[in-house]
Structure 1
Amino acid sequence: MNIEERQSLQQKVYIHLKEAINEQIYKPGDILNERKVSAELEVSRTPVREAFKALEAEDVVEYIPYRGVMVKSLSVDDLKHIFQIREALEILVIKLAIDKINNETIRRLQQCVQSQEDLKDNAGNRIQEFIKLDMEFHNILADTSDNPFLKQLILDMRDKVARLGITALYSGPQRFYETIDEHRAIVSALKADDSKLSLQAMEQHIRNTYDNAMRYIETLSK
């Protein structure tokens, strides 16, 4: 196997592990066994080891002596701090994207919201699909900002929240409808080329998302 093939295999293992962690297949505190993962993915242990190192560098996992690699935990305070950062980043996206929004971008955003609309009555059973559409909505805006570093920072913040196993959508079916309404408000403001209203709509959306995520955490502690 040449270097390119080995790097490609390591990347596939890395992506698989990160998605499994974000989707709570591997939960905080779980120990990832190198031999078991390599057997499950039918690869040698080398790309698994390399993927573990990449995840450790991102502070997603940590090596525990005599035990193995453990998925790291995040606290409720971490969630608060993450959303403070995400709010600032998403508002910056709007500031950078507002002058670059065109009819095609509006069409894509509207199509994304419509796909969420089509899912809303059954979203509780298809929550991962709804979440992916939510990510797509924000990714379209991040792409329009034309700042790849900004987009990566937002993705990193979303990954950290996913590792908590918490999404505002778990707070109840009403959040599906609220999310759609908030997305529509953002699109409407952007279509009207109203910078102030666009910023307000995005700020309100992120704060509502945080409030509902915290509400879900409170129900777990009762």
Structure 2
Amino acid sequence: MFRPLYNILYNINNYYIVGGIIINKKYLSLKDHVYDYIANEIQNGTLLPNHKINELELSKKLEVSRTPVREALIQLASENLLEYLPRRGFMVKELDTEKKLDVFKVVSVLDALAATSALDQITEDDIEKMEEYVKIIDLSILEKNYADYQKYQKKFHNVYIGKCNNSTLTSILETLQNSFVRQVYLSNDTDKLFSASEQMNLDHREIIKCFQSKEKERLEQLIRNHWEIKHPDMI
């Protein structure tokens, strides 16, 4: 039975417990929690284009009331991740290939700018963190776990994006990546999918080398090439 919000929401030293997940309410609201959950489900391919979002099921699953669910859905629709259809509700939005290619071109420039801006801020700890993500991505590819692959390749890029000292750039990239990019590639042909994923992880290794050697121009070119779509049939 679905429990009302006041029965599942606890306040422990400025933290929420929602659906068994501890959330620091100083940083993440219930609406934000729902937003992140849906965005991640779309990002990792669990929710595909034209999938209808069931608000009641979602509120039960996350153990929150309908209000933060509706607020999150409205925000996701405003950012082009979802589409609202009268009498049908919210659905995962489908973008045509040309639109996706245009967005990837923009992301490539902005991501390269974030990387070069972060070049002098990257520490040894950051390098080690990126190297660890590359190893996890290798394992995800070996196990053909695309959800984990997508999760950790995003974490990889976020290491340097978070060090670029440009909140506007960071915000724009986050919106573009969540709202338009979704999976870099997605296909039922797993051999082709993970072959492309392997190449992208090789790019990650080269990106790390550029951060280590402080090669600004090569870093910029590497990242712009990294976002160049070589398999448009899989986006």
If the TM-score is normalised by the length of the shorter chain, which range does it land in?
Answer: 0.7 to 0.9
The counterpart of 1:161, out of the listed 158, 171, 181, is 181
**Aligned in 2, Cα 1:142/1:64: closer, same or farther, shift over 3 Å?**
same
- C-alpha distance after superposition, 1:80-132 (max 9, x if no partner): 1110110111110122112222322222222222332344422x2x1111222
**Aligned in 2, Cα 1:64/1:117: closer, same or farther, shift over 3 Å?**
closer
> In angstroms, what is the RMSD of aligned CA positions?
2.8
Gaps of 5+ in 1: 218-222
State how many pairs are aligned. Answer: 209
Residue 37 of structure 1: aligned partner? 58
Q: CA deviation at 1:40?
A: 4.2
Q: Distance in 2 between matches of 1:12 and 1:198?
A: 34
Q: Distance in 2 between matches of 1:105 and 1:37?
A: 36
Q: Distance in 2 between matches of 1:27 and 1:172?
A: 16
Structure 1 window deviating more from structure 2 (107-116 vs 135-144): it is 107-116
Q: Distance in 1 between matches of 2:135 and 2:81?
A: 34
8 A Cα contact 1:95 1:195, kept in partner: yes
Q: Distance in 2 between matches of 1:67 and 1:119?
A: 36
How do 1:1-16 and structure 2 match up within 5 A?
8-16=29-37
Residue 147 of structure 2: aligned partner? 128
Residue identity in the other structure for 2:213? A
- C-alpha distance after superposition, 1:154-192 (max 9, x if no partner): 222222221xx6626864332233122211111112211
Q: Distance in 2 between matches of 1:60 and 1:151?
A: 18
Q: Distance in 1 between matches of 2:120 and 2:61?
A: 48
- TM-score computed with the length of structure 1 as normaliser: 0.79
Gaps of 5+ in 2: 1-5, 17-24
Residue 53 of structure 1: aligned partner? 74
Residue 73 of structure 1: aligned partner? 94
The counterpart of 1:146, out of the listed 158, 162, 165, is 165
**Aligned in 2, Cα 1:203/1:24: closer, same or farther, shift over 3 Å?**
closer
Q: Tell me which protein shows more helix as a share of its residues.
A: 1
2:229 corresponds to 1:216: no
| SS of equivalent to 2:48 | coil
**Aligned in 2, Cα 1:110/1:42: closer, same or farther, shift over 3 Å?**
closer
- TM-score computed with the length of structure 2 as normaliser: 0.76
Residue identity in the other structure for 2:165? D
| SS of equivalent to 2:90 | strand
Residue 92 of structure 1: aligned partner? 113
2:192 corresponds to 1:175: no
